[in-house]
Amino acid sequence: MTWDKENPKSEYPKSELCKPAAHYNKSRAKRGIPCSDLGFRKFGFKLVLALILLFYLSSLAQAFSFAVFGDNHGNLRMLSDIFTRIKADRDIQFAVNVGDMVNRGDASQFKAYADFVNNSGVKVYHVMGNHDAYNGDGQFIKYFGRTYYSFDHENAHFIVLNNALNMYFDETQLDFLEKDLEANKGRGIFVFFHKPAFDPSNVYREFVMSDRRLAVKMMDLFKKYKVRYVSSGHIHAYLRSESSGVVYLVTGGGGGVLHLPAFMGGFYHYVKITVDGDKVKDEVVKLYDQ
């Protein structure tokens, strides 16, 4: 049955026409517009409103930046210089230390580092490095909590893993990683661990994850779930590479003895990463003229 604009009542029985009792459709009821037509229009209007609201809410996620650095090795003077730069940059909302914050992993060094960070005014998330694990993971857990975990910030998701020693990164942690990636697929994801999955410089190949089977499986997960950035330390330099759409950073210039000449990335630095919706950019910040 079709609705004839010129003679609507001739096509529809009275039961199908909108009753004028509802104030919002009196005028249409007088014209004989079918209730089903009004219901469709009302549904369409609500759908448009819902889409507008969804778009508006998605746009509320604020652009932000965070800093990544590592391998301080107890060098609190240089850490102070890093924090001074970070605090002067109002875009940076937190930092991630990718490990080797201390040199020997003993209680006194951990306490000195933790006291310094707690009084710095900078929010820092921590990754355990091999030097931090010289005496096991007890001190790290005491001051910073779990050795692998994840957290959210604005519209992005962050995953911290523990590959400080070969025995730490196993199938259990790989399973944690896969489940966390699956639960957050479609978001901007950033991953951090101490030893690189590979060496972009091809100079310190023995400084990468020793279990190559797990390293390859991990990188396959990064590709599958479209991880944006993977940041590591251990090699005391700045290195950047891209593989299968994933950006891999090595940012180990936080205070330890440098491993490469300056022209190859051997300089003290941190990396500033800015997230603005789906757009992500990185910038290496040199601490000194080197």
pLDDT in tens, 122-178: 999 999 999 999 999 999 999 999 999 999 999 999 999 999 998 899 999 999 999
Question: Sorting pLDDT into bands at 50, 70 and 90, what band is 12?
Answer: very low
For 140, counting Cβ atoms within 10 Å of its Cβ (0-12 exposed, 13-18 middle, 19+ buried), the class is: buried
pLDDT value, residue 176: 98
Whole-prediction pTM value? Answer: 0.79
pLDDT value, residue 269: 98
pLDDT value, residue 205: 86
Separation CA 47–CA 39 (nearest Å)? 12
Tokens of 76: 């609190």
Mean pLDDT along residues 45-72: 74
Higher pLDDT, 78 or 60: 78
Say whether pLDDT at 47 is over 90.
Answer: no
Higher pLDDT, 185 or 37: 185
Tokens of 285: 């910040």
DSSP letter assigned to residue 241: E
Question: Sorting pLDDT into bands at 50, 70 and 90, what band is 289?
Answer: confident
Mean pLDDT along residues 99-118: 96
Question: Sorting pLDDT into bands at 50, 70 and 90, what band is 233?
Answer: very high
Cα distance between the two ends of the chain: 82
Higher pLDDT, 19 or 118: 118
209 Cβ contact list (under 8 Å, min separation 6): 163, 166, 169, 195, 196, 197, 215
Locate the domains of the chain by residue range: 8-58, 64-286
Q: What is the CATH number of domain 64-286?
A: 3.60.21.10
Is the Cα torsion angle 203, 165, 177, 274 positive or negative in sign? negative
